[in-house]
Amino acid sequence: MEMEPKKTGLYEVHRRLNAKLVPFAGYWMPIQYTSIVSEHRRVRSTVGVFDVSHMGEFIIRGPKALEFLERMTINHVSPMEVYRVQYSAMCYPDGGIVDDLLVYRLPEYYMMVVNASNLEKDFAWLLEHLTGDVSLENVSDDTTLLAVQGRYAQAALQKLTSLDLSKIKYYWAQRGRLAGVEMLISRTGYTGEDGFEIGFERRYSEQVWEAVMEAGKEYQIEPIGLGARDSLRLEMKYCLYGNDIDQTTNPLEAGLGWITKLQKGDFIGRDALVRIKEQGVRRKLVGFEMLEKAIPRHGYPIVKDGKEVGHVTSGTFSPSLDKGIGMGYVPTELSEVGSTFAVQIRGQEVPAVVVQTPFYKRPY
């Protein structure tokens, strides 16, 4: 029997705003409010606010919490200072990716923020490897998470707090009161714009949402759905789990070598990744642009000299570049910038070229 999707603390707000709500990762989530392209452009030009409360939050504490995280994740956790945020991933023993995630080092514990679609799988994976001196708590259902993204995100939020937001650097966090509510404020996001992600107790959902919308009025703030979140992240070549990375892909071929710290000591998947690195990766995840008017979509074949060599993992129309862009795994020899191939779209082979990524660079 299908489970009825859960509702975030802002479900009623989305309904009042006539959002197009669809089941996503076990929740009713807004895909769009007006149009994906106009919402995308709003974030790129001023500021937008996303309900991302479907994401998972786990609290890891205990005397061996650090050792546990070093074993479970591929990035190096030990050097993190208090309030530092780190992008990382967990791997299976064969090097395949369990999930990509954020690790927060907070004064009393560590927190992990994981993808909504992997929440239960990730929690089970962590539990399976838990040792006696570590406790693991899933606080996802009690947490509301908003992403306020765009060049005026700081200006809008600063009206609501006495905390100096300019002092929170990229990938750092701070605790404080905003809109009268205690919360964790981090300078993070998945859009390529400046911005913050703010996490707080679910019961304050509507209070904080209304305050943020009011504070952002002079910057034409708008609510933004998951549709624009997807096109914004794709313009940055940020991976989406289930599309660009999954258990059949490893971090080295996915372009995540920079978070894979093979020299830090043992972790799950390390031996396999060392072998893969020594042998050299056979394929790489690339960003490409269409050379004709066409939109690549997830699953479309990538073809070279009449032979299928890969498939599109993510593709969309880029509102910032006004053309079709995509990502996909291709043989290493086709991964250099300037390499060409075709994407098969409804039986037609449409030419494409590998480009320097991110596709979009913010102008400020």
DSSP codes of every residue in 288-324: EEESSS----TTPEEEETTEEEEEEEEEEEETTTTEE
Q: What's the chain's average pLDDT?
A: 97
Full strand arrangement of the beta sheet holding 110-114: 85-91, 97-105, 110-114, 56-61, 135-138
Residues 118 and 241 in one domain: yes
Q: How many domains does the chain have?
A: 2
Same domain, 196 and 289: no
* Same domain as 147, residue 176: yes
Contact assessment for residue 49 and residue 198, using Cβ atoms and an 8 Å cutoff: no
Q: Please give the structure tokens belonging to residue 14.
A: 């989305």
Q: What is the pLDDT of residue 41?
A: 98
| Residue-number span of the structural domain to which 72 is assigned | 1-281
Question: Beta strands 181-186 and 283-290: pairing type?
Answer: unpaired
* 199 in the same domain as 163: yes
The pLDDT tens digits of the residues spanning 341-350 come to 999 999 999 9
The answer to whether position 363 is within a domain reads no
Could you report how far apart the first and last alpha carbons of the chain are, in Å? 50
Same domain, 147 and 247: yes
Query: What per-residue confidence (pLDDT) applies to 2?
Result: 67
- 95-109: average pLDDT: 98
67's CB contacts (< 8 A; 6+ apart) are: none
pLDDT value at 152 more than 90:
yes
Q: What is the pLDDT of residue 127?
A: 98
106 shares a domain with 232:
yes
Same domain, 246 and 313: no
**342 domain residue, yes or no:** yes
Dist CA 52 CA 100 (whole Å): 16
Band of the pLDDT at 246, cuts 50, 70, 90?
Answer: very high
Contact 197/55 with Cβ under 8 angstroms?
A: no
Same domain, 305 and 266: no
pLDDT of residue 175: 98
* Residue 137: inside a domain: yes
**Where a domain ends, among 243, 260, 281?**
281
Strand partners, 314: 327
Q: Which of residues 281, 310, 335 is at a domain's end? A: 281
| Number of Cβ within a 10 Å radius of residue 170 | 10
Above 70 in pLDDT, residue 201? yes
Q: Are residues 197 and 154 in the same domain?
A: yes
pLDDT at 132: 84
| pLDDT above 70: residue 248 | yes
- The tokens of 97 are what? 């990716």
Inside any domain, residue 262: yes
Tell me, what CATH number does 325's domain have?
2.40.30.110
215 and 322 co-located in one domain: no
Alpha-carbon distances of 239 from 38, 174, 358, rounded to whole Å: 23, 26, 11
Q: By the 8 A CB rule, do 214 and 206 touch?
A: no
- What are the tens digits of pLDDT across the range 268-312? 999 999 999 999 999 999 999 999 999 999 999 999 999 999 999
Overall average pLDDT of the 232-243 stretch: 98
CB 90 within 8 A of CB 268: yes
Both 301 and 209 in one domain: the answer is no
Q: Does 362 reside within a domain?
A: no
Averaged pLDDT, 113-141: 96
**Pair of tokens at residue 125:** 């994976």
pLDDT higher than 80, residue 333: yes
Determine the pLDDT at residue 225.
98
58 and 112 belong to one structural domain: yes
CATH code: domain of residue 156? 3.30.1360.120
Q: Is the pLDDT of residue 362 over 80?
A: yes
**Angle subtended at Cα 230 by Cα 350 and Cα 5, rounded to the nearest 5 degrees:** 125
List, in sequence order, the alpha helices (H) in 24-162: 36-45, 65-72, 119-128, 153-158
Residue 3 has pLDDT above 90, yes or no: no
- pLDDT of residue 1 exceeding 80, the answer is no
pLDDT at 133: 94
Whole-angstrom Cα distance, residue 344 to residue 347? 6
Among 255, 281, 307, the domain-final residue is 281
Q: What is the enclosing helix (H) or strand (E) of 226? A: helix 226-235
C-alpha distances out from residue 357 to 10, 55, 88, 234, 306, Å? 34, 26, 20, 10, 26
